[in-house]
Amino acid sequence: MKVMKAFVAGLALMGLAAPGALAAGGAKPLEEGKTELPDWSFDGPFGKFDKPAVQRGFQVYTEVCSSCHGLKLLSFRNLAESGGPFDTGEPDDSEALVKEFAAMFMIDEIDDVGDVVQRPRTPADRFPDPYPNPQAAAAGNGGAIPPDFSVIVKARHGGADYIYRLLTGYPDQDEIVDGVLHVNDEHSHGELKQPPGLYYNPYFGGDVSSNWTGDPRHAPYGGFIAMPPQLTDGKVEYMDGTVATKEQMAADVAQFLAWASEPKMQSRKSLGFAVMIYLFFLALLVYFSYKQIWRKVEH
Ligand code: HEC
């Protein structure tokens, strides 16, 4: 009985201690007003993408992110797939839209006599890369290479939540004077000096203690990222009239990137459901046939 009690108490303690332990591991406890993460419609076994959000996110990607981040595994034709930004419900219309959109981007091709010529892209072509090679990408971004977005939501712990937090998590840039951020919250008190070309973000992995003037045991969570803050209220003007707050754009672009990481998610989930129903009836059938066949046999 005693052992049992100790076990239950231990469990309860673990439950209490766990959030603290996680916080100490680097993830920042959510700040006031930021506790709300978007409620992703694509989560769960029956989840679907929120098409208007995917469309808005696509607009944010093309207008803001595509100058640095590629989507090299995505073909233009994917845009018309179910749940995709160009899925109008009418396959012919969707295809026409994709065709028109793809043709806005040129691609190099070798012609019959071996010369390099340019032609407009077709729906079968991949998305253009913002930089000709990794060296050019690094040179354009102070040595850091903006990662390709094709599988970014799958490749980062936390997925769409992480993208949302990273984009909205930068401190208010007005508070940074000559690269120095004054921190004064319940966890840390002191000054944080941003190295040139890097930006403090509490959700980016790393260690900022060598640039911290306060108590080293209470250095702020997070690290320095080579990407400047990208989103400010009103950065894009949404075609559907939605008010483009920083949080709205971050949620929409995260939804779009979740779609881009798995454009076939919706068909996968609906097929999965059909297969489960099929297996259920098959199991019933097999069970009753078994009963029927062995009905007269003693076993
Ligand atoms: C001016 C170029 C530039 C633009 C525009 C830009 N980024 Fe970045 N981004 C970078 C660079 C550079 C890095 C690599 C940072 C590093 O490793 O320190 C990066 C990294 C990232 C990462 C990966 C962080 C990690 O965990 O490794 C994400 C996610 C990201 N950017 C999202 C976005 C989104 C979403 C947009 C558009 C709203 C955007 N970026 C626009 C330059 C850019």
Quick one: which atom of ligand 1 is closest to the CA of 142?
12
Closest Cα to atom 12, ligand 1: which residue? Answer: 146
Nearest Cα to Cα of residue 26 among 261, 220, 249, 234: 220
- Domains identified in the chain, total number: 1
Does residue 291 fall inside a structural domain?
Answer: yes
Residue 160 lies in a domain: no
Q: From ligand 1's centre to the CA of 223, what distance in Å? A: 14
Does the Cβ of 62 fall within 6 Å of ligand 1?
Answer: no
- Among 230, 245, 261, the mutation site with the greatest number of ligand 1 atoms within 8 A of its Cβ is 230
Task: Return the residue whose CA atom lies nearest to atom 40 of ligand 1.
Answer: 65
Assess if residue 99 is contained within a domain: no
Write out the residue range of the structural domain in which residue 277 sits: 268-299
Per-residue pLDDT of the chain (299 residues; tens, 9 = 90+): 444 444 444 434 333 333 333 333 334 444 444 557 999 999 988 899 999 999 999 999 999 999 999 999 999 999 998 889 999 889 999 999 999 999 999 999 999 999 999 999 999 999 999 999 999 999 999 999 999 999 999 999 999 999 999 999 999 999 999 999 999 888 889 999 999 999 999 999 999 999 999 998 999 999 999 999 999 999 999 999 999 999 999 999 999 999 999 999 988 998 999 999 999 999 999 999 999 999 998 86
Measuring from atom 2 of ligand 1, which residue has the nearest CA?
68
Q: Does the residue 274 lie in any domain? A: yes
* 163 CA closest ligand 1 atom index: 29
- 226 Cβ closer than 6 Å to some ligand 1 atom: yes
Q: Is 166 in the pocket of ligand 1 (CB under 6 A)?
A: yes
Do the domain assignments include residue 294?
Answer: yes
Q: Is 251 in the pocket of ligand 1 (CB under 6 A)?
A: no
Q: Does 253 sit in the ligand 1 pocket, CB within 6 Å?
A: yes
Q: Whose CA is nearest to atom 11 of ligand 1?
A: 146
Residue 292 falls inside a structural domain: yes
| Rounded alpha-carbon distances, angstroms, from residue 188 to 28, 179, 212, 219, 223 | 12, 18, 10, 6, 15
Q: Is 56 in the pocket of ligand 1 (CB under 6 A)?
A: no
Q: Is residue 288 part of a domain?
A: yes
Residue located nearest, by CA, to atom 42 of ligand 1: 227
What secondary structure does DSSP assign to the chain, as a single string? -HHHHHHHHHHHHHHHHHHHHHHHTTPPPPPTT-------TT-STT----HHHHHHHHHHIIIIITTT---TT-BGGGGGSTTSTT--S-HHHHHHHHHHHHTTSEEEEE-TTS-EEEEE--TTSBPPPSSSSHHHHHHHTTTPPPPPSTTHHHHSTTHHHHHHHHHHHSPPGGGEETTEEEEESSS-EEEEEPPTT-EEETTSSS--GGGB-S-GGGPPSSEEESSPP---TTSS--TT-----HHHHHHHHHHHHHHHH-TTHHHHHHHHHHHHHHHHHHHHHHHHHHHHHTTTS--
Tokens representing residue 95 in the block:
């295809």
**Inside any domain, residue 284:** yes
